[in-house]
Structure 1
Amino acid sequence: MDTRIRTLGIIGAGRLGGAIAQLAVAAGLRVRVAHSGDAGSIAPAMAAIGASAGSVDGVIAGADAVLLALPLSGFRTLPVAGLRGMLVIDAMNFWWGSDGIRPDLNDPRTSTSELVQEFLTGARVVKALGHMGYQDLVDEARPAGAAGRKAIAIAGDGEDDVAAVAGLVDDLGFDPVIAGPLASGIMLEPGAEAFGADVEAAELRAMLEDFPHSQRGIVVARARREPRPG
């Protein structure tokens, strides 16, 4: 089965979305980007890097996978029906500066990607490309096998979907590291050692392995012994 992503849709045209679009174009992918406003307002910037701008529905319709680079608080504005059956790469994180004070988005009993999956019924959500800073993504991309190549972690439940995202990470210039199922995405969120990490694969794996013993890991384990409400 060919799982390679050749056309990438990106929802979110901020710094992270723009950085990933730039890398994807450089890797030879067809890239279309949408944001919450009129596509014309980002069309010149996208054309300058070799991508194109479109509506959310148009970007989804033509993509092999759709990457979410919105503020996390905006995920409930996404079209559930339009994304049903789609491979969705969640690069979003809770950040109080853009999302506000939102206990519902900062509950250690669940990863934020699980919340996104619960909302996007029928989509196949994989967490990736959100734990490294956008400038590091641009600066650190290197060809496969290059010395000092940095790593990006991936968390997802579907073997083929994780493989597809791993291939994309490799194409973008990073070594993929599999973190585990989608719930493991909490190890890539703010507060975890891997968040913001700009490291090679062996060091990233060590961070993930040590998570249960870290301060954040202990908080998560304690919280997950309690059931989520509702």
Structure 2
Amino acid sequence: MSDPVPYAPAPPLASLGILGAGRVGKALAARAADAGVAVALAGSADDISPVVAADAVVLAIPLGRYRSLPAERLRGALVIDAMNYWWELDGARPDLDDPTTSTSQTVAAFLEGARVVKALNHLSAYALENLARRAGEPERIAVALAGDDQADTAHVAALIDAMGFDPIVAGPLAEGMRFEPGTELFGADADRDEARLMLDRFWDTQRGRVVARARAAG
């Protein structure tokens, strides 16, 4: 099965900044370092200077804190949104639970001028820590990504591949909705073909029908 948005192979990123030093942020840092990528890890925006100097910045903080991000310093940067909305942590947030848009589009609107790609959000910390595999190995699992710019998407896909997972492009940034919390792919350790089927089945799920009706009405 092929990805709906073709992308040319891109050179791997030489450096990666990660904002968020929790378990996921540390797991991403380890995978990137294993791939030969120079990593800068910061626990908060107070330490962001080495992070924003990297070729790309991963956001691995609670999504409810996205408005604390230094938008001006991220202007023009390639930003990988690995954040998720959890009402238990973030509280009831209509801005993050709007079915007419993906949460990454909300983040992109706040980070005006940043080049946002949704990725690395739907695997568990355990999977990031333990399930990376070399290309071609039968148990290699997939990571979905969504972005509006094909070159940026290609760079993030190359990073995912180097980190030990099969990249699978869901489409433009709006399609990040299909692997947010509450979807079939979220938390699944699926290979490339299984992940593609899960993405394709999204519109037949209850969440998919809610999204489709809301977007049609909007």
Q: TM-score, normalised by structure 2?
A: 0.93
Instruction: Judge conservation of contact 1:3–1:160 (CA < 8 Å) in 2.
Output: no
Instruction: Report how far residue 145 of structure 1 moved.
Output: 1.1
- What corresponds to 2:5 in structure 1? none
Correspondences of 1:4-153 after superposition (within 5 Å): 4-36=12-44, 55-61=47-53, 63-153=54-144
Instruction: Report how far residue 119 of structure 1 moved.
Output: 0.5
Correspondences of 1:173-192 after superposition (within 5 Å): 173-192=164-183
- Match of 2:216, SS state, is coil
- What corresponds to 2:199 in structure 1? 208
Structure 2 counterpart of 1:140, one-letter code: L
Structure 2 counterpart of 1:183, one-letter code: A
Residue number among 150, 154, 167 corresponding to 2:158 in the alignment: 167
Instruction: Report how far residue 6 of structure 1 moved.
Output: 1.2
Residue number among 199, 211, 217 corresponding to 1:220 in the alignment: 211
Structure 1 counterpart of 2:48, one-letter code: V
Instruction: Report how far residue 36 of structure 1 moved.
Output: 2.2
CA distance in 2, matches of 1:201, 1:74: 32
Instruction: Report how far residue 58 of structure 1 moved.
Output: 2.8
Give the CA RMSD over aligned residues.
1.4
Instruction: Report how far residue 225 of structure 1 moved.
Output: 2.1
- What corresponds to 1:48 in structure 2? none
Higher relative contact order (CA 8 A, sep 6+): 2
CA distance in 1, matches of 2:110, 2:123: 25
Identity of matched residues, %: 55
CA distance in 2, matches of 1:37, 1:177: 30
Q: TM-score, normalised by structure 1?
A: 0.88
Per-residue CA deviation, residues 50-83 of structure 1 (Å, 9 max, x unaligned), is: xxxxx1133212x000000010011111111111
CA distance in 2, matches of 1:114, 1:222: 18
Structure 2 counterpart of 1:94, one-letter code: Y
Instruction: Judge conservation of contact 2:10–2:154 (CA < 8 Å) in 1.
Output: no
Instruction: Report how far residue 3 of structure 1 moved.
Output: 4.3
Instruction: Report how far residue 37 of structure 1 moved.
Output: 7.4
Aligned residues: 210
- Match of 2:217, SS state, is coil
Instruction: Judge conservation of contact 2:45–2:70 (CA < 8 Å) in 1.
Output: no
CA distance in 2, matches of 1:224, 1:155: 18
CA distance in 1, matches of 2:210, 2:24: 28
Deviating runs (4+, > 2 A) in structure 1? 1-4
